[in-house]
Amino acid sequence: MIRLLLMCLFIASSTHDIHFTKTTLDYNEETKTLQVVMNVFTDDLELAIESGHDGLDLEIGAENQHELTDSLVGAYVIDHLMFKNNHKNIEFDFIGFEYDYDICYMYLESQPFTTKSCNSNTIDVRMFYELFEDQENVCDINCPFWDTEFIFTKNFRALHRECDY
C-alpha cells in the first residue's frame, strides 16, 4: 500500500506540497555490499544543493547543466545517508544519478562488510530536513539481517536495531 501511495505521489507535478524521498537498500550477498537507490524530487535536490552555494544554478537535466552537478549531488547524498553495522560507519561510494523530468534516481554502493557477527544496525536518511519541516524519507531495507520499511521524519531521524544474525 505504501508503495502505491509513493508511486502516485511521484507522478505529481513538479510543484508539490508533499516533501518526501524514497530510499531502497538491498544487501548483495555476493559482493557483501549495500546497493542503494534514492528517488527524490529534482527541484528539492537542486534547492538543497544550491542553498549551500551562493549563485549556483545546477540546471539538472538541462543542456547547460552545471559541470559540477555530478560531484555536488554525490557529496550531498553521501553526507545525508548514514548506515552503521556493529556501531561502525559503513562508507558509501556514489555511483551516479539519472534524471527523469521531476525525479532524480541516485545510486550508491557501500564498502563491503560482513554480516557474520551482526549485533546491531543503525540507519539515518536525512535528506532535505534543512529545507522542509514536513519532510519524510521512506526507507525500504531488504537485507538478510534486516527487512523492514520505515518513514524517517525531522523528529525521528534514526532507526536502530539489535540483531541475532
pTM for this model (two decimals): 0.84
Domain-located, residue 137: yes
Domain-located, residue 150: yes
Instruction: Say how far apart CA 165 and CA 38 lie, in whole Å.
Output: 26
pLDDT at 164: 60
Residue 149 domain boundaries: 23-162
Domain-located, residue 54: yes
Q: How many domains does the chain divide into?
A: 1
Mean pLDDT of 40-50: 95
Q: Are strands 136-143 and 33-41 parallel, antiparallel or unpaired?
A: unpaired
Domain-located, residue 8: no
Domain-located, residue 34: yes
**Structure-block grid coordinates of residue 79:** 553526507
Query: Is residue 87 packed enough to be buried (19+ CB in 10 Å), middle (13-18) or exposed (0-12)?
Result: exposed
Q: What is the pLDDT of residues 106-134, one digit of tens each?
A: 999 999 988 776 678 888 999 999 999 99
Domain-located, residue 4: no
The residue type found at 120 is S
**Structure-block grid coordinates of residue 65:** 547543466
Q: What is the pLDDT of residues 63-98, one digit of tens each?
A: 998 999 999 999 999 999 999 888 889 999 999 999
60 CA to centre of own chain: 17
N residues, the chain: 165
Domain-located, residue 2: no
Closest residue by Cα to residue 26 from 110, 103, 126: 110
Contact 73, 83 (CB under 8 A): no
pLDDT at 6: 52
Domain-located, residue 151: yes
